[in-house]
Every structure is written in C-alpha cells, then in structure tokens.
Chains A and B, each alone.
Chain A
Amino acid sequence: MNTRIEKRFEALREAGELGIVGYITAGDPSPDATPEFVAALDQAGADVIELGVPFSDPLADGPTIQRASERALKSGTTLAKVLDLVRLIRQASQVPLVLFSYYNPILQMGLEKFASTAAEAGADGVLATDLTPEESDDYRRILGAQHLDTIFLGAPTSTDERLAKIAACSSGFLYLISRTGVTGAKDALPDDLPALLRRARAVTRLPMAVGFGISLPAHVSVLGGLADAAVVGSALVSEIEKATKSGASASAIDAATSALSEKVRALKQAARHGLSRREVTR
C-alpha cells in the first residue's frame, strides 16, 4: 500500500520537480489557525506539510521555533489536540501530513494509542527529532503496523554506515539536515551539502528532503537536481510570528495566511522553474 507521501514523491519525480515541504508549529498562535494555515500552504503548492508538536524543551530548535512552541503551548496545544487538528485538516485536504515531534509526548500518550489515533486521524508519517534508530525498534514496529511512514534524520556528521542504517529505518523519505546546528533560517547553504546528498544517494533509493536553514527561493533553486524536496520551517514560522505579533485576531490570522501563501508560492515557483546559476550566485 503506497502512502500519500510515497505517491507525492513519485509524482514529483515523474514531473522532474523539486518538492516543497512546509513546516509550521501546530497551535501557533492558536489551534483554530492551524487548519487555515495548512489549507493555504496546500493551495500554494506545498507538497508535504509537517505539523510540529510543541514541546517544553525543544533542544534541537533555534529561537524562531522555540518561540512558536511557547505560543502553541500557551494556547493549550497538546499532542492529542494536534491529532484532532489532523482529523479536521484531513476532511478538507489530501495533502501528505507528517507529525514532527520530540519523542516524550508520543511516549507519554503511549506508542499504540498514538499510532492508531494518528493513522485514524489521517496522518501519513511521523518524525521524532530526538529518537535515534538505535532506540526505535518498538516505535517502528507499532507505527509501521498502522502504515505510518517513519522518517529519520540524517546529518552532515553521520557516517556512510549510519546513513545506511538511518535509511533502513526510514520510509516515505529521508530528511537530511543541511548543516550542524539547530533549526533556523540562514543566508547560504553549506558547501558540503552536495557531498552529503551524494553519500545518502549511495545507500538508499528513498526520496531526500533537505532541511535546516532553507528560507529563500535561491536555496530552493540550488537544491533542484540535487534533492527531491526542500523543507522550509523557520521562514514560515517567522511569517506567522510577524503577522500575529500583536495578537491572534481574525485579521492577523488572515494576514499570516496570505504571507504563508505568498512565501510558498515563491518557493514553489523557484522549484518549478528554477533560476539560472548566475541568478543564484548574484
């Protein structure tokens, strides 16, 4: 049975197009806003949407997503509520949805209950930032039984041997971290990124999404031909932050929604048509 994620990457491959994976923190600034944001991202062309589950101690995240987590927790967002949001979103959209969480909230809900609820709600995959392949036997067995893709991270520090192990534990796609560090927008992509992609391609046929530090159409253009998708997170989250700075009023949410659409449209444009090398480096 092919998952929504697999189907989407197959379609992208056939079209020869780089996918855009959009990340937002669920419940930021309010649970009600999340389905609106997802609908906008979907309509603007995002191929996969990652819904961040807020956590009190987001040690892999930079300041932008840390603040989003705080806002989401303050608005009462729990893992159970995020799963409710998935159910709501799924009624209106077939966009592939990945839950992006730290491991503890999943563990506290219980792996069985989490997996069955997430699958029933319509989630397609799960990425647990601080869960390593070594500790993931039960997790993969239980999520796999519910046909949820398990996505793991590969890093620039991962050896070839580890990349193979990570890929063997992953389904749907492989998420490669572009550079050492926490999440957050950066100006330039690191020089050793092509090498990391090459090393990963050598050990797996899974589609590769590259994330951490991607915010600009130029980044997306550079990734075309190298990766299968670009993950944009902090850059989207900061649009939400800017628009809702003085509160989560209906008009602020509308403003955030249009900002998200615009951002993803520009990224998608770069992904579809690309920029010439000269334009990229200028």
Chain B
Amino acid sequence: MSSILESPATAPGHFGPYGGRYVPETLMVPLFELERAYELGKSDALFQAHFQNLLRNFAGRPTPLQFASRLTEKLGGPRIYLKREDLLHTGAHKINNAIGQGLLAVKMGKPRIIAETGAGQHGVASATVAAHLGLECVVYMGTEDMARQALNVARMRMLGARVVAVDSGSRTLKDAINEAMRDWVTNVRTTHYLLGSVLGAHPYPVMVRDFQAVIGREARQQILAAENRLPTHLFACVGGGSNSIGLFHEFLRYPDVKMIGVEAGGRGGQLGEHAARLAAHQGFTGARPGVLQGTYTYVLQNEDGQIATTHSISAGLDYPAIGPEHAWLADQRRAEYWAVSDQAALDAARLLSRTEGIIPALESAHAIAGLVERLPKMTKNDLVILNLSGRGDKDMDTYSRLL
C-alpha cells in the first residue's frame, strides 16, 4: 500500500485526480521547458553542487532541530522538537525554493524573475536570490498584504526588487498570483516565474516540494540522532503548503508517523471568514475540488464556481486553494488537516515567545496552535517535530497591536 504514498503521482504532474496543468496555452511550452530544465538539473552534478553550496553557505543550512524543553514541560504532553527554519537567511524556509528556482532561471538563460508574495517572505527570498545571482526581480503583492507586512516591502526594495502593488480582488496572495501570471504570459520568453509554493501547474508542485524536501531529510537524521526513533507526529502550517510538504515528504514512507497540516481558521467557519480548505470536518464551509491558477485542487468557492475571498490574520496562509498534493494526502487520510483561529495563533505566538525565547511568524504560530489543540489526543510517549517555518520580525506590527 505504501507505493501510492511514496510517490502519489498517478500520471505525470498529477496526485490522484489533483494537480495537472490548467493554464493559457502560451504558458504550456515554457512549462515543458521548465520541467526539462528541472529534470536535467536533478542529475547535473554541477547544478547540484551549486545548489548545495548556496543552501549551506548562503542560506545557512542545515538548520537546527531544537528540543523545546520549556514548551514540552509547559504543555505536559509529548516531547517537542522545533525544526528551526526561522534561522535561515531571510527568516523563513522560502529561501530553499528560491535558491533552487533562481539557479534554474540562470540555467534556462532567463535574466528576469517574477514572484508573488503574501507574507512577503517569498518575495524577500526571491529578491535576495535575484540580487545574489544578478537577476532582475519584480514582486507582485496585494495592497492589503503590503500594509500588514511593510517591513518585508522595505527589504525587497532594499535588495533592488521592484514591488508592484496589486489592488484587485481581495488584494492578497491570490490576486498577486493572477497579476504575476499576467506578467509571465506576456514576458514569458525572458522571464522565469519563481512561484513560491507547491501550487500552480506542473512541474511547480513537484519541483517546489523537492526543493523544500531538505527540511524533512535533515529532520529525520536529526531526530534519530537525538532520540534514536522516528517522531510520532509532525506539525506544520499550510497556506499553499510548501513548508509542510517539505517536512512531510521524507516521512511519507513511514506509516506510523502522523502528519498534521494546520490551516488558517480565521474568524469562523462561514465562507469568507477563513482560509481552511481541508477542514470541513470542523465546520469550515465552501471548499470543493476545482481549478484555480493552474491546478486542480480543493478551492474555497461559491456554488457558481467563483473563487471566494478568504480571511486570515496571517498573510501567508490567506489563500483560497491548497497545494494539490495536500488534497491527495487528505483524501488518502495520510495527512490530517486542522484549522485554528486567528486568536489561537496569537496565543500560540505569545506562548512560544515566552517559553522558548522565539518569536514565530504568524504562519508558524498556527502550527503551534494546532499542536496545543491536539494535546488531549496525545501522550507523554509521543514525539513531535514542529516546523518553525519563519520568524516573527515581519509580524511585530500585528503582535504589538493585538497582544
């Protein structure tokens, strides 16, 4: 039974019925080119050496797996380890993928990269890699997100990127992706679209996962070294789903390792009040399989197939669709999905700050809240790895207003 879980792609670019390529025709051949470049890069020793070198010496890998002793004691349940992606250069896991795709852009001879960003972490990572590799960089960002993540806007500009304000729709991540895709379809011959999550048309969900899978590979070795056993539970927040897939991927072959993806429950279960695509079991309404921005997956939408607006206090989780591999993992019951409220995430951010001396990003705070809500179903024998995907500097405005 493990074969479908190991590599759930049933047809190239598909995860069961999910995934695929749903894009304007103009983008199809560029997607094939990207897929080919990526496949070649995988077996290209020089490319891999360059990638590993940048991960180690530019981004700061490997990241520590830290035993959270005071949090463990405080919660009184399982032993908790934090995978410290927040310690990476630029402050989040996003840099792993940005380095990989930046090198691919160079390999494909594309002098210009574009990116979308919600929380700004992927935009900063893209701008950083572009500066490091000498590429032109344009980042699309919703105006609502620009307001709540002003620090990251300044960082991108400092790095020489152009930040384009997107004022359509909900003025958040979804609208930034629309605008980035319009740029890409126009400038496709010179431009690589550096998509930041396991979303979009094939090969993005597979490629971004593979670039992020280093998180789980390191974590498995580190937990074996520290505890001499595999974890019983993995926790990670899920917006598009790249940090969670990055942690989960390595562990898919171990059926006893439970995986919990934590979504943004926002202010409540009504459509428009949350960004929970796989938490219908908790009463979050409006998600059905559909096509958005290149892929077939669970999408928050109304009965007529119009995409819903979403709400989350966390810009990085505020998105109506989820990576297609997560949809498949949920259908297979290989991973569980659980949504926590804005308030629970804020409480969790305070908890981690005061027990461990780590201010988490609002996104990662959702994972901590998910762990807290799961405690009644766990024992002291359980062993948790929680992906601390980003640091909270960018969220200090929100924290200082609401805490």
Contact = CB atoms under 8 A, between A and B. Distances in A.
Contacts of B182: 59-60, 62, 182
A162 B305 contact: no
Interface string B363-380: 000000000000000000
A56 B290 CA distance: 13
A130 B29 contact: no
A130 B304 contact: no
A215 to B, nearest CB: 17
B29 A162 contact: yes
Interface stretch (A92-100, A147-155, A229-237, A240-248): A147-155
Interface stretch (A11-19, A101-109, A117-125, A249-257): A101-109
Interface string A111-142: 00000000000000000011110110000000
Q: Which of B28, B181, B288, B303 has the most CB of A within 10 A?
A: B28
A66 interface: yes
Interface stretch (B184-192, B333-341, B343-351): B184-192
A182 to B, nearest CB: 5
Q: Residue among B22, B25, B296, B303 with the most chain A CB within 10 A?
A: B25
Nearest to B22: A130
B149 to A, nearest CB: 22
A78 B304 contact: yes
Given A56-B169, A177-B25, A105 B305 contact: yes
A59 to B, nearest CB: 4
A270 interface: no
Interface in A140-166: 152-159, 162, 166
Contact of B168 (A66, A106, A130, A156): A66
A102 B290 CA distance: 11
Contact of B20 (A134, A152, A153, A177): A134
B168 A107 contact: no
A259 B288 CA distance: 41
A182 B24 CA distance: 9
B270 interface: no
B231 to A, nearest CB: 37
Contacts of A80: 304
B25 A152 contact: yes
B304 A157 contact: no
Which of A59, A106, A158, A181: most chain B CB closer than 10 A? A59
B29 A158 contact: yes
B111 interface: no
Interface in B290-336: 290-294, 296, 299, 301, 303-307
A109 B306 CA distance: 11
A180 interface: yes
A50 to B, nearest CB: 16
A79 interface: yes
A160 to B, nearest CB: 11
A60 B291 CA distance: 14
Contacts of B307: 56-57, 104
A107 B291 contact: yes
A130 B24 contact: yes
Contacts of A134: 20-21
A85 to B, nearest CB: 15
Contacts of A130: 22-24, 291, 294
Interface string B159-197: 000000000110000110110011001111100000000
A129 B25 CA distance: 8
A153 B185 CA distance: 14
A104 B20 contact: no
A108 B290 contact: yes
The 10 closest A-B pairs by CB, nearest first: A108-B305, A105-B305, A155-B26, A181-B186, A78-B304, A153-B25, A56-B306, A155-B25, A59-B178, A60-B24
24 contacts: A55-B305, A56-B306, A57-B293, A58-B178, A59-B178, A78-B304, A79-B305, A104-B307, A105-B306, A108-B303, A129-B24, A130-B291, A134-B20, A134-B21, A135-B22, A135-B296, A155-B24, A155-B26, A157-B25, A157-B189, A158-B26, A162-B28, A181-B186, A182-B185
Interface of A: 55-60, 62, 66, 73, 78-80, 102-109, 129-132, 134-135, 152-159, 162, 166, 177, 180-182
Given A134-B21, A181-B185, 20 more contacts: A56-B169, A56-B307, A57-B178, A58-B178, A59-B178, A59-B185, A59-B293, A102-B291, A107-B305, A108-B304, A132-B21, A134-B20, A135-B20, A153-B26, A157-B26, A158-B26, A158-B28, A177-B25, A180-B189, A182-B185
